[in-house]
Amino acid sequence: MRLNTIIIYLFVGVFLMSCSSDSDNDNGNVDPNNPKAGNQLPLGSSANDLLSDQNFSNLAIEIAVDDNVSVSNSALIDLEEFLEARTFKTNITITQRTIESPEMSPYSNSEIVSIEDNNRTLYNTEDTIAVFILYLSGQSENDEGNSVTLGTAYRNTSLVLYKETIDNAGQPLNTPSVSEIESATLQHEFAHLFGLVDIGTEAQTPHVDPDSQGHCNVEDCLMIASIEFASGMIGMNSVPSLDPQCINDLQANGGR
Ligand SMILES: [Zn+2]
Ligand SMILES: [Zn+2]
């Protein structure tokens, strides 16, 4: 008997635009006069640069944390393991720092971009590709009823997590812990930066969800659009993993 069922959607940002996987720049820096340009590209366009070591041997992750929230350590450990398993990076570093809460919830997509632009300090360098992760309290303005946004990947090397929404999703009975939901969200959104599914990393087999851009149609896959935590994660002792078809796609685009 199901007492409490919540449908939680992990959304790709609505301004997800480009599925282009062709790179006409050899190191991600499109404009030599703008050192930030290589980090201001559409979602999915740096999939190969994040997965392979061809242009960048290192990955530097900067986490900017709203001073009203905190980051789960175990979710970060899971993320690091996930990145080591799927990429060919020699060094992966994760640095965290606190930022003053913008207190503008609910957040629009353009507000997220401007918060990044005001707070991001790490950009691509010669051999290191940089990723920005924003942790905010409050919600996305796309939330409606029980359909809530836990996180969004919104640029080629940028994603946001809505920690208050994640905390609330972990409250009802029969749901996984907050840190498991946070961990799943982090990996799911990072996998969008890797170009899954078919948004910069071409799908090698037909497993694209026809109803949800950027998602997988394999039940239990990390990249499924909706995860019904009340029943879908019961029996799982850990966060969902990528299914073999998603892993195959990453391997075909330079991943491990
Ligand atoms: Zn998604
Ligand atoms: Zn999948």
Q: What is the pLDDT of residues 104-137, one digit of tens each?
A: 999 999 999 999 999 999 999 999 999 999 999 9
For residue 62, give the H/E element and its range.
Answer: strand 58-66
Residue with tokens 């009975």: 173
Ligand lying nearest the CA atom of residue 218: 2
Ligand lying nearest the CA atom of residue 216: 2
Q: 201 and 251 in contact (C-beta within 8 Å)?
A: no
Structure confidence at residue 197 (pLDDT): 97
Using the mean position of ligand 1's atoms as its centre, give its distance from the Cα of residue 196 in Å: 9
Mean pLDDT of 45-62: 98
Mean pLDDT of 226-251: 73
Using the mean position of ligand 1's atoms as its centre, give its distance from the Cα of residue 26 in Å: 28
Ligand lying nearest the CA atom of residue 221: 2
Q: Is the pLDDT of residue 77 over 60?
A: yes
Structure confidence at residue 22 (pLDDT): 35
Q: 124 and 56 in contact (C-beta within 8 Å)?
A: yes
Using the mean position of ligand 1's atoms as its centre, give its distance from the Cα of residue 58 in Å: 25
Q: How buried is residue 113: exposed, middle or buried, by Cβ count under 10 Å (0-12/13-18/19+)?
A: middle
Q: Is the pLDDT of residue 140 over 50?
A: yes
Give the model's confidence band at 174: pLDDT under 50 very low, under 70 low, under 90 confident, else very high.
low
Mean pLDDT of 232-236: 48
Q: Is the pLDDT of residue 27 over 60?
A: no
Using the mean position of ligand 1's atoms as its centre, give its distance from the Cα of residue 32 in Å: 32
Using the mean position of ligand 1's atoms as its centre, give its distance from the Cα of residue 192 in Å: 7
Give every CB contact of residue 81 below 8 A, 6+ residues apart in sequence.
none
Q: 254 and 52 in contact (C-beta within 8 Å)?
A: yes
Using the mean position of ligand 1's atoms as its centre, give its distance from the Cα of residue 225 in Å: 6
Ligand lying nearest the CA atom of residue 225: 1
Using the mean position of ligand 1's atoms as its centre, give its distance from the Cα of residue 242 in Å: 12
Using the mean position of ligand 2's atoms as its centre, give its distance from the Cα of residue 104 in Å: 34
Using the mean position of ligand 2's atoms as its centre, give its distance from the Cα of residue 222 in Å: 6
Using the mean position of ligand 2's atoms as its centre, give its distance from the Cα of residue 216 in Å: 5
- To the question of domain 8-252 being in CATH 3.40.50.300, the answer is no
For residue 154, give the H/E element and its range.
Answer: strand 151-155
Ligand lying nearest the CA atom of residue 223: 2
Using the mean position of ligand 2's atoms as its centre, give its distance from the Cα of residue 35 in Å: 34
Give the model's confidence band at 97: pLDDT under 50 very low, under 70 low, under 90 confident, else very high.
very high
Taking the CA atoms of residue 189, residue 190, residue 192 and residue 193 in that order, the dihedral angle to the nearest 10 degrees is: 140
Q: Is the pLDDT of residue 102 over 80?
A: yes
Ligand lying nearest the CA atom of residue 150: 1
Q: Is the pLDDT of residue 242 over 80?
A: yes
Using the mean position of ligand 2's atoms as its centre, give its distance from the Cα of residue 10 in Å: 14
Eight-state DSSP code of residue 152: E
Q: Which of 142, 139, 133 is nearest to 168 (CA)?
A: 139
| Average pLDDT for the chain | 85
CA distances from 55 to 81, 86, 210, 220 (A): 22, 16, 33, 33
Using the mean position of ligand 2's atoms as its centre, give its distance from the Cα of residue 248 in Å: 9
Give the model's confidence band at 234: pLDDT under 50 very low, under 70 low, under 90 confident, else very high.
very low
